[in-house]
Amino acid sequence: MAQINEPKLISGNANRPLAAQVARRMTMHRGRAVDLVDARVERFNDGEIFVEVFENVRGEDMFIIQPTSNPANDNLMELCIIADALRRSSAARITAVIPYFGYARQDRRSKARTPITAKLVANMIVEAGVERILTLDLHATQIQGFFDIPVDNLYASPIYALDVMHNFKDQRDDIMVVSPDVGGVARARDLAQRIGAPLSIVDKRRGKPGEVAEMTVIGDVKDRTCLIVDDIVDTAGTLCKAAEVLLEHGAKEVHAYITHGVLSGPAVDRVSKSVMKNLVITDTIQATDAVKNCANIRIVPTAPMFAQAILNTSNGTSVSSLFNHETLGPIYEGMYKG
Whether 55 and 42 have beta carbons less than 8 Å apart is answered as: no
Question: Can you give the pTM of this predicted structure?
Answer: 0.94
For 11-34, write each residue's pLDDT tens digit: 999 999 999 999 999 998 877 889
pLDDT at 125: 98
Q: How far apart are CA 20 and CA 9, in angstroms?
A: 9
pLDDT at position 143: 96
Neighbours of 179 (CB within 10 A): 25
- Catalytic site residues? 204
Which of 69, 93, 71 has the alpha carbon at shortest distance from 7? 93
Whole-angstrom distance, CA of residue 2 vs CA of residue 91: 9
The values of phi and psi at residue 73, to 5°, are -65, -45
pLDDT > 90 fraction of the chain, expressed in percent and rounded? 85
Of 236, 244, 143, nearest to 202 by C-alpha is: 244
Query: What are 112-148's pLDDT values in tens digits?
Result: 999 999 999 999 999 999 999 999 999 999 999 999 9
Average pLDDT for residues 229-247, to the nearest whole number? 95
Reduced to 3 states (helix: H, G, I; strand: E, B; else coil), residue 73 is helix
